Amino acid sequence: MPIHPIEYRYGTAEMRKIWDRSEWLKRMMLVEAALLKALSEVGLAPMEAPDKVYELIESGAVTIEEVNRWERVTDHEVMAVVKALAEASGVYGGYIHVGATSNDITDTVLATQLRDSIAIIESKLRDLALTLADLSERYKDLVCLGRTHGVAALPITMGFKFAVYASEVIRHIDRLEEAKPRICVGKMSGAVGTMASFGNKGFQIQKRVLEIMKVYEPIIATQIVPRDGLAEFITLAAMISSTLDKIANEIRNLQRSEIGELEEPFKEDSQVGSSTMPHKRNPIKCEKVCGLARIVRSMALAALENIVLEHERDLTNSSCERVMIPEVCLLLDEQLKTMIDVLKGLKVYPENIKRNLESQKDLIMSEAIMIAMVSKGVDRQWAHEVIRRCSIEAWKNNKRLREVLVENPDVRRYLTVEEIEKFMMPENYIGTAKEQVEKVVAYVRGKLKA
């Protein structure tokens, strides 16, 4: 019966298939068949043997149940696969696994799983980046509060927020693409990596096997592919997860009742927000993204610790990786799918955005007034102090900043009432926000079209 939530709750069907036990067995046997083909090509196995074994694999003759039976006998997972496949291969069974060590097979299988998982992750990242670019363009003129330290700062635009996220997602795509040759790496070099079991055919055999399996060759390996590449993948996954956490957390904050600027999709005809409070519309999808990020980030430490193995290898990484790698891939897959769905159905409330801007009673325009005074030749430090005192007065007396400024002789010495009114309009102080959004949108679309 299902126990872990990734068995029934998290991850798409396409990602699940990669890490399914039956798929694992098929890939294990395909690596063994690739090795047999490489052996046959250098004269170390009959030429007809690989085709017979490939036919056997496609027929489904070797089952998980048979492998499990052999594992109970051997207490060795890879040897169980070897025994089951060799037994089913008849006269060719004696050529199965010749010259290989267990991790020649398992690391090469892992390389194919990582390759295919990264393809899914990249596809979703592309969808996410384009969705963010669309939102950036749609809301590039929608002026809203910029906040630092959780406090109103200066006006920006909602499109600017989305553009920042889109650029971050593009960097993750670049990182993954650049790291593939270090991540999707198999091996076929024997018990300590010297290829001694293949005589003078080692390089040729390894190259051919990995070519057939469509993964990268290592420059050098011991009994296993060094784990720094895997640590790089898990760390990149944690970085991507953290970006999703960042976006989701912002939506959650802007969905707060007293803010109400954004809201994740809510099915009004059927969705229940609370088992007791009928009115609730909770940001549960974004909260899931944030919660799963904590798990994915925690895996980065374990991946880094797995780099440290004794001599030419020990087994401390194995049990950790069995848990860690499928979890990271499935949970990140779930986060990406959820965030794409949230953003595609995101609700934006311009009236609440305008209300929140006006609630600051012009205080967010203090820098604009200070810069305007400096442009008239005023000392910057002096202008800052004048506007700071005006801001405090407005705050204490619950006045609009413009009221205090109009009455202040130091300000009026340099600015007219009309100028003050002009500089109190948030849409007049968004700098190059619109142009930056357009730049990011063009960059994202151009890069993903290439």
Active site residues: 149, 274
| C-alpha span between 264 and 283 (Å, rounded) | 6
* CB burial of residue 119 (10 Å; 0-12, 13-18, 19+): middle
d(CA 257, CA 190): 62
Rounded distance, CA 184 to CA 232, Å? Answer: 11
Asked if 124 and 333 count as a contact pair (C-beta separation under 8 A), the reply is yes
- Alpha-carbon span 121 to 127, nearest angstrom: 10
Write the burial class of residue 41 (CB in 10 Å: 0-12 exposed, 13-18 middle, 19+ buried).
middle
Centre a 10 Å sphere on the Cβ of residue 418 and count the other Cβ atoms it contains. 8
Contact residues for 10 (Cβ-Cβ < 8 A; gap 6+): 292, 330, 331, 333, 334
Secondary structure class of 52 (helix, strand, coil): helix
Question: What is the gyration radius of the CA atoms in the chain, in angstroms?
Answer: 30
Task: Answer for the pair 154, 184: CB distance below 8 angstroms, yes or no.
Answer: no
98 is written with which tokens?
A: 């010749």
The two tokens of residue 391 are: 């801001």
Q: Which two tokens stand for residue 196?
A: 């001694």
The structure tokens 């109103």 sit at: 152
How far apart, in whole angstroms, are the C-alpha atoms of residue 15 and residue 247?
Answer: 23
